[in-house]
Amino acid sequence: MNNRPLLLDCDTGIDDALALTYLLNCDTDLVGISTVSGNTSAQQASANTLALLALAGRPGIPVAVGEHDPRTGAYRGGAPHVHGGNGVGDVSLPGAGTPSDETGPEMLLRLSRVHAGELDVVAIGPLTNIARALDQDPALPQRIHRLIIMGGAVWVPGNTTDHAEANIYNDAAAAAQVLTAGFDVTLVPLDVTLQHTFTDDDAALLEDSGHPLHLALGTMLRRYIDFYESVDGVRAAPLHDPLAAAIATGEVAITAARSVAIQVLAEDTEDRGRTMAADGRPQVQVVTGASADADAAIRARLLSTSRHQGVTQ
């Protein structure tokens, strides 16, 4: 298990909530969480995150509200048809805590100096915060150990347009900047996340545990499955963000990957957000396969409780 200090950058929707809970139950050294607009607004994402931390018994982890608008244009209102009006399936979460005085980019820059050369960043939303931090300090990549990104659709169709995945589409300019900045990047795209799913059985397991956090996650997951059934006709939801988190911890192994340069089409055309393999550098590791037991490993972690939680199974 990877025990490096870790910063989670997220747009806390349903699969982000699952990824966060996974990381908490791994007892990773989660030194901070920054939020960004994507599935919902950065402000709402921070409220969701603080509530989830409270339910998990981890209110001490700092949460910074990051960028509201993408690099170009304005926030487009999120994805309420997927994640509900509040980003977490319209599940009512308790009000809890207040965010840090830092912004998301400020938190990233500070932690990159405190943990220089050691910090892993798991980015499971649009890359706006990281791009803004790069604007302030172009040397940032030299202080980050690894940047794990859930995003892109390299050799498969997109999920927002025919070509684009949502996180990249929501701030294509930021993605283009970050993926060419010189970070050691592991990209976890739709090419692999669509291979791993949860079903109603997983929602039932969460709901049946009796833990308030699990009950909330189970209800969210059913909302997420409802959406995917409306699109694909199958009651199964891909594990986009949880898979990226599990790869970041090392609990789920990468079984297939390609090292390529990634070109992001950032212009405001029908191809905006398209991620294409290209020649040249810098190259990133694009994950195309993960261990067959990934779903089971993520499920087991979600159903466990960390040593910080007050309710045991």
The one catalytic residue in 145, 214, 240, 295 is: 240
The pLDDT of residue 306 is above 70:
no
Interval 80-111: pLDDT, tens: 999 999 999 999 999 888 999 999 999 999 99
Interval 1-28: pLDDT, tens: 888 999 999 999 999 999 999 999 998 9
The one catalytic residue in 11, 15, 120, 202 is: 11
At residue 309 the predicted structure's pLDDT band, cuts being 50, 70 and 90, is low
| 144's tokens | 């980050």
Annotation marks residue 11 as catalytic: yes
Judge contact between 275 and 153, C-beta under 8 A: yes
Interval 153-172: pLDDT, tens: 999 999 999 999 999 999 99
Judge contact between 45 and 19, C-beta under 8 A: no
At residue 267 the predicted structure's pLDDT band, cuts being 50, 70 and 90, is very high
Model-level pTM? 0.96
Interval 224-243: pLDDT, tens: 999 999 999 999 999 999 99
Rounded to a whole number, what is the largest CA-CA distance in the chain? 52
Average pLDDT of the segment spanning 61-76? 97
Annotation marks residue 68 as catalytic: no
Q: Which phi and psi angles does 232 have, rounded to 5°?
A: -105, -15
Residues 6+ apart with CB under 8 A from 185: 146, 147, 148, 149, 178, 179, 282, 284, 285
